[in-house]
A and B are shown apart, each in its own frame.
Chain A
Amino acid sequence: MKISFRINQKDVSLDLDPMRRLIDVIREDLGYTGTKESCGEGECGACTILLDGFPVTSCLLNAIHAQGKQIHTAEYLAKTEKGKLLIDCFDETNAVQCGFCFPGFFVSSYHYLLNDGEPNLEKIKYALSGNICRCTGYTKIFEAILLACDRIKKQV
């Protein structure tokens, strides 16, 4: 089946099995390997992408879910203004350890920054509650996002 959508600001139209997992389309067919597979059942958030601006786990979506939609992955968000600011904060706080979960955390925290952005620890925890990290104990990730929120507030 022909499935057309926009990914990282590029229009694509592919002949796909509509039930093919969206994560496989993104990683294997389109080569955006920044989206990671870890649990394969929506329990870890490593495969989080933005679908029409909302974080979703791409391992539990099918190619058909992308039809007519906009997808953004970590690779693209890293080039945006807010994405860059967020990466600076992750870097400065040394929040990243193995990094396998991080593109997913990045997508969730980017969405938070864009849609709420309040430097509130409880809200940040909520926004990240679908992403699992086994290395860091999360503490420095919270710190990084709080820092990013503060910086954006100061810019305004």
Chain B
Amino acid sequence: MSSARKFDARPKVAGTYRFLDDYNNIEMMHGLLFYARFDHGIISKIHLPPDFNLNEFTIVHASDIPGQNLVPEPVADQPFMADKEVIHFGQIILGIAHHDKKTLKDFSEQIQVEYQKQPATTDIKQCLEDEKNCFGKEILINHNFTPKSDPGCTYLHKVYYTPHQEQAYLETQGMIAIYDDQKKSMFIQGTMQCPYFVKEAVETIMGSAIRQVIVETSEGIGGAFGGKEDFPNIIAGIAALLSYKSGKPVKIVLDRSDDIIITTKRHPARIEIESWTDRISGKIRKLTVDYRLDAGAYQTLSPVVLARGVLHSFGTYNIEEAQIRGRLFRSNTPPNGAFRGFGAPQAIFAIESHIDHIARELGIDLADIRRINLLRKGDEMPTTQIIQEDHIKECLETVISWSDYYNKKARFEEFNHTHSDKKGIGLAIGFHGGGYTGNGEKILKSEVKITIDKDELVKIYVANTDMGQGAYTTLAQIVSEALSYPLSKTIVEIPNTDKAPNSGPTVASRTIYIVGALLQNLAYKINAEIPDNNLSSYIKNHPGQFPREWKLQFQPDPDIRFDDNTYQGTAYKDYSWAACVVEIYYHCQIYQIEVKNIWNVLDIGRPVNRKIAEGQVEGGNIQAMGYALTEFFYKPGFGRMHGFTDYILPTAFDIPEINIEFINTSSPIAKGLGEIPMDYPAPAILNAAQHALGRNFYELPLTPENIFQVLKSSHNTKIAQEDN
């Protein structure tokens, strides 16, 4: 387990590493996305402002699209630009370009859209409550479920809610499109996770008007977290259209407020759980989950988020009878999309909170209820997948003893007897399936390429991007270690669809787990072909054989099957496991929770780079802390947030002590890492709040205002007075 330095750290600190907005040329026009400021309506007329020279502007509308006005997605239902009907706030109506950024902005701010207002659903809870809003394909998993009630069991029925979450990558979204009229080709450069998605999107919108699309990422990608999975398709498509129409390079970089208003967020969820638990043994006999996501106005990739959410909604528990239902709901809000965890944080929040509520109901210790019900080696998930390892148990036991959970719990309770401020300790466990869900990897058939030059440089070609997670360093390290070749001579090339094969999107923790494993196998293959086992001297002795190229494609394990209709089979070949303890301090005067300490014990298999792995856990924990405490995007009656002044991200002051331990580190497999540290801290924080305050909570975020409301409703008196 090495801790190789990241090759890009130094230029990033010094500001010399280039992000998209750092690319400029004199010819370049600035592009802007003009979008609807209403929720639902039929456009009757667009009034362009009169005091501008229209000849200086390039303007594109749905009617200018030579190809198809549908963004390629798992469900291709979203247009690049609205034609007549707008069905959500923030829906793009026009693409506009001009040489001067300020003129462009002034112009777009004065455009008036005349429309006939239509009814709209914008409130999250209203949307998720009303089954009339259901759309898309429903998922139903039935695992031995019998509706008859069990007299020895305690029945618990609760509804859990989670809010939107904004990715808040520090670099806003952006694309440069450069159209070459002679070659009829389009070059796209941008900040993105999935270059081949963007390629397909530009091919779709441009149709037969162009012959070739090449997509390359900018040198640096300033954070993504899922937010740059599918939205870049739209920006690239419109930038391409503007460049095609103007004949000039066009750069679109979103302003922060535009970015926050129109791009995708984590799906708000309503998760209803019923459980039947044996009063004597504490064993959960039966469980039903009704998992609902607010998809926004279009399905886009929501069905895939739904699938992952449903497949994590039963938690890390062995449940004999389970019925799980997953549905998407439509609202007149921008489509929600990918965000670190992809449906799992919502699912794990609900099940982990519910487990605590069962324990409190039955008077069982919070660790014991988990021990009793834990998925053990040989147990069957509701999907019939058989568990092969007992690592979740090891995570749980390790975190309990390492954090001194029981002693602290007793000490905190003692403290709480004599203080108005309170202390709390919470526990949560989680899991995360690595790679695409179900048959996804089988369909993707990812391919990777390695070349070796005469100058002894090993170059890795993949379509996966480094958006800060350290992918280029870690992938180079995997190849360098497998080839026994110096890391300094092993590099990952900036993803370019003309040079790198399609190794799939940079999502679902698949970059190291799937693509890294492919590269490792390819490196072994290269090793086997180099007879004297010393690459360096072999290149020197056989210059005629270089440059040389090797490729390898993903081969699915034939024994692994998953049924997309019944959701039975192996949804994910490997799961990462984790357990977490969180300590909080509650400030009673202002109803505010402060997280003091987070303890993480994880099985992610082999951490390729220890420091990078820790960085992923720390970053994931803090995003989860924001999710639990301060981050929300919509407030009924007050609409949506517009920027970083409203949307409250954790700052340096809010950071607790974070402790991280990895188990199972000698495993040959590097499993998924990026997402799991986002999955479990939020329920652990909620559980700690319940411990501190002795009240139940069912909804995130636990803002002081929300805590105040809960305390008030259960006291029905002025709480502070009583506490004083």
Residues on A close to B: CB < 8 A? 27-28, 32-41, 43-44, 46, 73-75, 78, 86-87, 90-103, 105-106, 124-126, 128-129, 131-142
Decide if B6 touches A96 in the complex (CB within 8 Å): yes
Given contacts A41-B645, A87-B13, contact A135 B468 (CB under 8 A): yes
Complex Cα–Cα for A94 and B473 (A): 11
Decide if A96 touches B618 in the complex (CB within 8 Å): no
Complex Cα–Cα for A69 and B171 (A): 29
Contacting residue for A38 out of B18, B171, B623, B658, CB 8 A:
B171
28 example contacts (A-B, Cβ-Cβ < 8 A) are as follows A33-B15, A33-B22, A43-B645, A74-B14, A91-B10, A94-B614, A95-B615, A97-B223, A97-B615, A98-B169, A98-B170, A98-B224, A100-B222, A100-B223, A101-B170, A103-B13, A106-B14, A125-B652, A135-B468, A135-B469, A137-B658, A138-B650, A138-B652, A139-B618, A139-B655, A140-B611, A140-B615, A140-B618
Contact partners of B618 in chain A: CB under 8 A: 136-140
Complex Cα–Cα for A73 and B611 (A): 28
Decide if A98 touches B222 in the complex (CB within 8 Å): yes
**Chain A residue at minimal CB-CB distance from B167:** A134
Complex Cα–Cα for A99 and B623 (A): 17
**Chain A residue at minimal CB-CB distance from B168:** A134
In B2-24, which residues have CB < 8 Å from any A CB? 3, 5-6, 8-10, 12-19, 21-22, 24
B638 within 8 A of A: no
| A-B CB proximity, top 4 nearest | A34-B15, A98-B468, A99-B12, A100-B222
B234 within 8 A of A: no
Complex Cα–Cα for A131 and B611 (A): 22
Contact partners of A100 in chain B: CB under 8 A: 19, 169-171, 220, 222-223, 468
**Chain A residue at minimal CB-CB distance from B468:** A98
Decide if B256 touches A78 in the complex (CB within 8 Å): no
Given contacts A33-B15, A43-B645, A44-B170, contact A94 B653 (CB under 8 A): no
Complex Cα–Cα for A38 and B481 (A): 37
**Chain B residue at minimal CB-CB distance from A32:** B15
B612 within 8 A of A: yes
Complex Cα–Cα for A102 and B15 (A): 8
Residues on B close to A: CB < 8 A? 3, 5-6, 8-10, 12-19, 21-22, 24, 167-172, 220-225, 255-257, 467-470, 609, 611-612, 614-615, 618-623, 643-645, 649-653, 655, 658
Complex Cα–Cα for A103 and B8 (A): 13
Contact partners of A27 in chain B: CB under 8 A: 21
Decide if B15 touches A132 in the complex (CB within 8 Å): no
Decide if A99 touches B17 in the complex (CB within 8 Å): yes
Contacting residue for A40 out of B18, B256, B609, B612, CB 8 A:
B256
Contact partners of A128 in chain B: CB under 8 A: 652
Contact partners of A140 in chain B: CB under 8 A: 611, 614-615, 618
Complex Cα–Cα for A140 and B655 (A): 11
Decide if A94 touches B9 in the complex (CB within 8 Å): yes
Given contacts A91-B5, A100-B220, A129-B651, contact A139 B12 (CB under 8 A): no
Contact partners of B13 in chain A: CB under 8 A: 74, 78, 86-87, 90-91, 96, 99, 102-103, 105-106
Contact partners of A129 in chain B: CB under 8 A: 651-653
B342 to chain A, nearest CB (A): 17
Given contacts A38-B171, A39-B643, A106-B14, contact A99 B622 (CB under 8 A): no
Complex Cα–Cα for A102 and B16 (A): 11
Decide if A36 touches B5 in the complex (CB within 8 Å): no
Contacting residue for A134 out of B225, B615, B643, CB 8 A:
B225
Decide if B22 touches A78 in the complex (CB within 8 Å): no
Known A94-B6, A99-B9, A135-B468; further 9 A-B contacts with Cβ < 8 A: A41-B645, A74-B13, A100-B169, A100-B222, A129-B653, A132-B170, A133-B170, A134-B223, A138-B650
A154 to chain B, nearest CB (A): 22
- Most chain-B CB neighbours within 10 Å: which of A90, A100, A124, A125? A100
Given contacts A41-B645, A134-B168, A137-B658, contact A96 B8 (CB under 8 A): yes
Contact partners of B619 in chain A: CB under 8 A: 97, 134-137
B656 to chain A, nearest CB (A): 9
**Chain A residue at minimal CB-CB distance from B255:** A40
Contact partners of A133 in chain B: CB under 8 A: 170
Contact partners of B623 in chain A: CB under 8 A: 134, 137
**Chain A residue at minimal CB-CB distance from B469:** A97
A121 to chain B, nearest CB (A): 10
Contacting residue for B653 out of A75, A106, A125, CB 8 A:
A125
B244 to chain A, nearest CB (A): 26
Contact partners of A74 in chain B: CB under 8 A: 13-15
Decide if B468 touches A97 in the complex (CB within 8 Å): yes
Decide if B622 touches A41 in the complex (CB within 8 Å): no
**Chain A residue at minimal CB-CB distance from B257:** A40
B235 to chain A, nearest CB (A): 17
Complex Cα–Cα for A78 and B10 (A): 9
Contact partners of B15 in chain A: CB under 8 A: 32-36, 73-75, 78, 102-103, 106
Complex Cα–Cα for A134 and B622 (A): 8
Decide if B172 touches A38 in the complex (CB within 8 Å): yes
Decide if A34 touches B14 in the complex (CB within 8 Å): yes
Contact partners of A131 in chain B: CB under 8 A: 651-652
Complex Cα–Cα for A146 and B614 (A): 18
Complex Cα–Cα for A52 and B96 (A): 40
Complex Cα–Cα for A142 and B620 (A): 17
Complex Cα–Cα for A90 and B10 (A): 8
Contact partners of A126 in chain B: CB under 8 A: 652-653
B501 to chain A, nearest CB (A): 25
B600 to chain A, nearest CB (A): 11
A118 to chain B, nearest CB (A): 16
Decide if A44 touches B644 in the complex (CB within 8 Å): yes
Decide if A78 touches B170 in the complex (CB within 8 Å): no
Given contacts A87-B10, A136-B618, contact A99 B5 (CB under 8 A): no
**Chain B residue at minimal CB-CB distance from A78:** B14
